[in-house]
Structure 1
Amino acid sequence: MPKKLFVKTYGCQMNVHDGERMAELLAGQGYEVTEQAEEADMVLLNTCHIREKAAEKVYSDIGRLRPLRAAKPDLRIAVAGCVAQAEGEEIIARAPMVDLVVGPQSYHNLPKLLRRMDAGEKVVETEFPAEDKFAHLPARRLRTPTAFLTVQEGCDKFCAFCVVPYTRGAEVSRPAERILSEARALVAQGVREITLLGQNVNAWHGAEGGLATLVRELAAIEGLDRIRYTTSHPNDMDDALIAAHGAEPKLMPFLHLPVQSGSDRILKAMNRKHKAEDYLHLIERLRRARPDLLLSSDFIVGFPGETEADFQATIDLVEAVRFGSAYSFAYSPRPGTPAAERPGVAAAEAHDRLLRLQAVITRQQQEAQASMVGRVLPVLFEKPGRMDGQMTGKSEHLMAVSVTGPAELRGQVRAVRITGALTNSLAGELAA
Structure 2
Amino acid sequence: MADKKFYIETYGCQMNFADSEIVNSILLEDGMSPVHEAEQADVILVNTCSIRENAETKVWNRLKEFRQLKREKSDLTVGVLGCMAERIKDQIIEQEHLVDIVVGPDAYRDIPKLIEEVEDGRKAVNVLLSLEETYADIAPVRTTGNGVTAFVSIMRGCDNMCSFCVVPFTRGRERSRPMESILNEIRQLSEQGYKEVTLLGQNVNSYKDGENTFAKLMYEASQVDPEMRFRFSSPHPKDFPDELLHIIAEKPNLCNYIHIPAQAGSSSMLERMRRPYTREQYLELVEKMKSIIPGLSLSTDIIAGFCDETEEEHEQTLSLMKEVEYDLAYMFAYSERERTLAYRKFEDNVPEEIKKRRLSEIITQQMDIQAKRNKEEIGRRHLVLVEGTSKRSDDQMSGRTDTNKMVVFDRMDFSKGDYVEVEVVDSTSATLIARPVKKSSIAEFYKKEAVA
Instruction: Please classify the TM superposition score into its range, dividing by the shorter chain length.
Output: over 0.9
Q: Partner amino acid for 1:366?
A: A
User: What residue is the counterpart of 1:79 in the other structure?
Assistant: 80
- CA gap of 1:416–1:53, structure 2 versus 1, over 3 A, is closer
Q: What secondary structure is seen at the aligned counterpart in 1 of 2:208? A: coil
Flag structure 2 segments of 5+ consecutive residues without an equivalent: 439-452
Q: Partner amino acid for 1:280?
A: L
CA distance in 2, matches of 1:43, 1:326: 33
Q: Does the alignment pair 1:396 with 2:377? A: no
1:351 to 344, 350, 356: 356
CA distance in 2, matches of 1:20, 1:140: 5
CA distance in 2, matches of 1:164, 1:125: 18
Instruction: Return the offset for 1:106.
Output: 1.2
User: What residue is the counterpart of 1:181 in the other structure?
Assistant: 184
Q: Bigger CA drift: 394-403 or 26-35?
A: 26-35
User: What residue is the counterpart of 1:44 in the other structure?
Assistant: 45
Instruction: Return the offset for 1:10.
Output: 1.5
Instruction: Return the offset for 1:90.
Output: 3.0
Does the 8 A contact of 2:24 with 2:141 survive in 1?
Answer: no
Query: Normalising by the residue count of structure 1, what TM-score does the alignment of the two structures yield?
Result: 0.94
- For residues 71-113 of structure 1, the C-alpha deviation after alignment (integer angstroms, 9 at most, x for no partner) is 2222221100101011223321023241111011111322332
- For residues 322-349 of structure 1, the C-alpha deviation after alignment (integer angstroms, 9 at most, x for no partner) is 0001011111111111212422211111
- In the TM superposition, 1:313-332 aligns within 5 A as 313-332=316-335
- For residues 10-39 of structure 1, the C-alpha deviation after alignment (integer angstroms, 9 at most, x for no partner) is 211111211222223323344444443333
Q: Does the alignment pair 1:127 with 2:128? A: yes
Q: Partner amino acid for 1:246?
A: A
- CA gap of 1:324–1:412, structure 2 versus 1, over 3 A, is same
Q: What secondary structure is seen at the aligned counterpart in 2 of 1:18? A: helix
2:245 to 242, 245, 251: 242
Q: Partner amino acid for 2:123?
A: K
Q: Partner amino acid for 2:242?
A: D
- For residues 31-61 of structure 1, the C-alpha deviation after alignment (integer angstroms, 9 at most, x for no partner) is 4444433333322111111112654543332
CA distance in 1, matches of 2:337, 2:202: 17
- In the TM superposition, 1:252-271 aligns within 5 A as 252-271=255-274
CA distance in 1, matches of 2:279, 2:15: 27
Does the 8 A contact of 1:421 with 1:427 survive in 2?
Answer: yes
Does the 8 A contact of 2:130 with 2:172 survive in 1?
Answer: no
Does the 8 A contact of 1:191 with 1:224 survive in 2?
Answer: no
User: What residue is the counterpart of 1:376 in the other structure?
Assistant: 381
- In the TM superposition, 1:60-75 aligns within 5 A as 60-75=61-76
- Aligned pairs, how many? 432
User: What residue is the counterpart of 2:301 in the other structure?
Assistant: 298
Q: What secondary structure is seen at the aligned counterpart in 1 of 2:39? A: helix
Instruction: Return the offset for 1:118.
Output: 2.9
CA distance in 2, matches of 1:133, 1:313: 39
Does the 8 A contact of 1:54 with 1:83 survive in 2?
Answer: no
Instruction: Return the offset for 1:3.
Output: 4.6
Compute the RMSD of aligned alpha carbons.
2.1
CA distance in 2, matches of 1:43, 1:158: 32
User: What residue is the counterpart of 2:90 in the other structure?
Assistant: 89
- For residues 249-297 of structure 1, the C-alpha deviation after alignment (integer angstroms, 9 at most, x for no partner) is 2110111110111111111011101000000000011011112111100
Instruction: Return the offset for 1:423.
Output: 4.9
Instruction: Return the offset for 1:131.
Output: 4.6
- CA gap of 1:73–1:136, structure 2 versus 1, over 3 A, is farther
CA distance in 2, matches of 1:251, 1:200: 18
Q: What secondary structure is seen at the aligned counterpart in 2 of 1:220? A: helix
1:153 to 151, 156, 174: 156
Q: Bigger CA drift: 28-37 or 363-372?
A: 28-37
CA distance in 2, matches of 1:160, 1:323: 24
Instruction: Return the offset for 1:354.
Output: 0.8
Does the 8 A contact of 1:193 with 1:227 survive in 2?
Answer: yes
Q: Bigger CA drift: 90-99 or 150-159?
A: 90-99
1:210 to 209, 213, 233: 213
CA distance in 1, matches of 2:328, 2:379: 20
Instruction: Return the offset for 1:401.
Output: 1.9
Does the 8 A contact of 1:384 with 1:407 survive in 2?
Answer: no
User: What residue is the counterpart of 1:336 in the other structure?
Assistant: 339
- For residues 237-257 of structure 1, the C-alpha deviation after alignment (integer angstroms, 9 at most, x for no partner) is 012112222222211011111
Does the 8 A contact of 1:260 with 1:298 survive in 2?
Answer: yes
Does the 8 A contact of 1:6 with 1:42 survive in 2?
Answer: yes
- CA gap of 1:131–1:117, structure 2 versus 1, over 3 A, is farther
Query: Normalising by the residue count of structure 2, what TM-score does the alignment of the two structures yield?
Result: 0.90
- CA gap of 1:345–1:404, structure 2 versus 1, over 3 A, is same
Q: Bigger CA drift: 238-247 or 2-11?
A: 2-11
- CA gap of 1:4–1:393, structure 2 versus 1, over 3 A, is farther
Instruction: Return the offset for 1:141.
Output: 5.6
Instruction: Return the offset for 1:384.
Output: 2.7
1:278 to 281, 285, 292: 281
Q: Does the alignment pair 1:360 with 2:361? A: no
CA distance in 2, matches of 1:284, 1:402: 30
Q: What secondary structure is seen at the aligned counterpart in 2 of 1:195? A: strand
CA distance in 2, matches of 1:4, 1:373: 49
- CA gap of 1:222–1:84, structure 2 versus 1, over 3 A, is same
- CA gap of 1:314–1:347, structure 2 versus 1, over 3 A, is same
